Amino acid sequence: MNDQTSTIRPPVTHRGWAVTFSGLGINLALGILYTWSMFKGAIEKEFGWKGDQLNDPYALCCLVFAFAMILAGRCQDKFGPRLTASIGGLLVGAGFVLCSTTTSYVIWLLGFGVLAGIGIGFGYSSATPPALKWFPPSKTGLIAGLVVAGFGLAPVYLAPASQYLLGHYQIQKSMLILGIAFVVIVCGLAQMLVNPPAGYIAGAQPGAGAAPKAVAASATPREILRQPTFWLLWVIYFIGSGAGLMVIGSISGMAKKSMGTAAFIAVAIMAIGNAGGRILAGTLSDKIGRRWTLCLVLLIQALLMFVAIFVTASKDMPAVVIVLMAALIGANYGANLALFPSFTKDLWGLKNFGMNYGVLFTAWGVGGLVLPRLQQTLTAASGGSYTWSFITAGALLLVGTGLTFLINPPPPKPAA
């Protein structure tokens, strides 16, 4: 026993912050997903696409991204974050370059929808796990929030960058430039993603109370799928992310009514709120616990939905109110993306974290597909009013709030 202790190598250089900010940088690049809203107008004008064709590549990309997280998580757990993120960068770059060669709807579905979707899944799945491994449990929420904040913050720089590219190079050459840039940036940052050496215990003192956590450290996807806690979290994630996405896509439309050409400010503020909410919720969850933070986030988001009914009904709502609403909705939506990775680590450990979170992340994909479609149906049926969309989202979020009180850790596995 003492022999083993004496053979441990001298303390290694702590690379946790370098890994964390590399992951954040990768997610800033992965936010290229959000450029679709900028591209739609150019595609309609240059390619002549109409109706659902304008949204299909984006919708497919989101769905493929969510389900690719399972395979990507397995790759991350088995081969490490550096290779997984590099594959992601190459796939997204290849998808964008492919799109730059054609105006074909089918090829864009393949390039942006499938290749970029898989690539984003591979990049996203490899950014958080190595960062979490360098830090003790007391910083899990903060680190998860910092890493995923990049994805939420991306529209702040991508919107003006895309506008510049489209204005100077049109859509196809813009896709080529973005594809090449994506490969260079993501594959470069991927080289900084390293796991700590074997035997490394973040922030722990030798032999101090590690046993209780060890029972969850090797939980597999097959095991978590048999736990009621997993399905409870899946439903709550579906509600929290889907209800947020129901209205996030409508913020620019709401802002245009009162802010005109300055509506992009509301969208940018929402992106800042989205990123800030991830960091704030992650940090708060380290202090008061994941469940109470999630309960608070869902309850505030529900109240915001009901307040939004009156905000959108007003014809002369001050711009500052729209901006504040955008920031708060973005923050509460973003909080989900920090809390659920933290739940995954707390409940099921880090050994199979990539694949376990990939399975749970399908809730984001399904919620993002189902509930925004429901919002479109409700808005169309009510003559363009958002009222029933907000009522539905608010009611679902109240259900999610109630479900948080049922979250309990799974029973420990018997010792082998």
User: Which residues neighbour 187 within 8 Å (Cβ) at sequence distance 6 or greater?
Assistant: 85, 86, 89, 90
The sign of the torsion formed by the CA atoms of 285, 291, 294, 296 equals negative
Which run of H or E residues covers position 354?
helix 353-381
Name the DSSP letter for residue 7: T
Q: Are 170 and 46 in contact (CB under 8 A)?
A: yes
In this structure, the chain runs to a length of 416
Q: Are residues 271 and 401 in the same domain?
A: yes
Q: Is 243 part of a structural domain of the chain?
A: yes
- The C-alpha atoms of residue 159 and residue 162 are separated, in whole angstroms, by 5
Q: Which residue has the tokens 């979170």?
A: 357
Q: Are residues 83 and 157 in the same domain?
A: yes
pTM of the complete model: 0.87
User: Which residues neighbour 41 within 8 Å (Cβ) at sequence distance 6 or greater?
Assistant: none
Which run of H or E residues covers position 52?
none
Q: Is 202 part of a structural domain of the chain?
A: no
Q: Are residues 395 and 250 in the same domain?
A: yes
pLDDT at 133: 92
pLDDT at 397: 96
- The C-alpha atoms of residue 263 and residue 255 are separated, in whole angstroms, by 5
pLDDT at 150: 92
For residues 105, 106, 108 and 113, what is the CA-based torsion angle, rounded to 10 degrees? 120
Q: Is 6 part of a structural domain of the chain?
A: no
pLDDT at 204: 52
The angle that helices 36-47 and 140-190 make with each other, rounded to 10 degrees, is: 40
Q: Is 37 part of a structural domain of the chain?
A: yes
| Domains: count for the chain | 2
Q: Are residues 349 and 393 in the same domain?
A: yes
Q: Are 23 and 130 in contact (CB under 8 A)?
A: yes
- The C-alpha atoms of residue 76 and residue 78 are separated, in whole angstroms, by 6
Q: Are residues 181 and 251 in the same domain?
A: no
Q: Is 199 part of a structural domain of the chain?
A: no
Closest residue by Cα to residue 229 from 336, 121, 335, 340 = 340
- The C-alpha atoms of residue 59 and residue 250 are separated, in whole angstroms, by 16
Out of 131, 158, 190, a domain closes at: 190
CATH code, 108: 1.20.1250.20
Type of residue at 329:
I
pLDDT at 217: 56
Mark the ranges of the chain whose per-residue pLDDT is less than 50.
Answer: 1, 3-6, 8, 205-216, 414-416
Q: Are residues 262 and 395 in the same domain?
A: yes
pLDDT at 214: 39
Q: Are residues 112 and 236 in the same domain?
A: no
Q: Are residues 270 and 376 in the same domain?
A: yes
Domain that holds residue 48: 15-190
Q: Are residues 130 and 258 in the same domain?
A: no
Q: Please name the residue ranges forming H helices in 100-115.
A: 105-108
Q: Is 366 part of a structural domain of the chain?
A: yes
User: Which residues neighbour 42 within 8 Å (Cβ) at sequence distance 6 or greater?
Assistant: 166, 170, 171
Closest residue by Cα to residue 361 from 341, 381, 342, 377 = 341
Q: Are residues 71 and 124 in the same domain?
A: yes
Q: Is 1 part of a structural domain of the chain?
A: no
- The C-alpha atoms of residue 113 and residue 59 are separated, in whole angstroms, by 7
Q: Are residues 261 and 306 in the same domain?
A: yes
Give DSSP secondary structure letters for 211-234: HHHHTTTT--HHHHTT-HHHHHHH
Q: Give the count of alpha carbons within 13 A of 151, CB side only.
A: 22
Closest residue by Cα to residue 116 from 94, 148, 87 = 94
Q: Is 157 part of a structural domain of the chain?
A: yes
Reported as a single tens digit per residue, the pLDDT across 350-408 is: 989 999 999 999 999 999 888 888 888 888 888 878 788 889 999 999 999 999 999 98
Out of 153, 175, 190, a domain closes at: 190
Q: Are residues 276 and 235 in the same domain?
A: yes
pLDDT at 12: 67
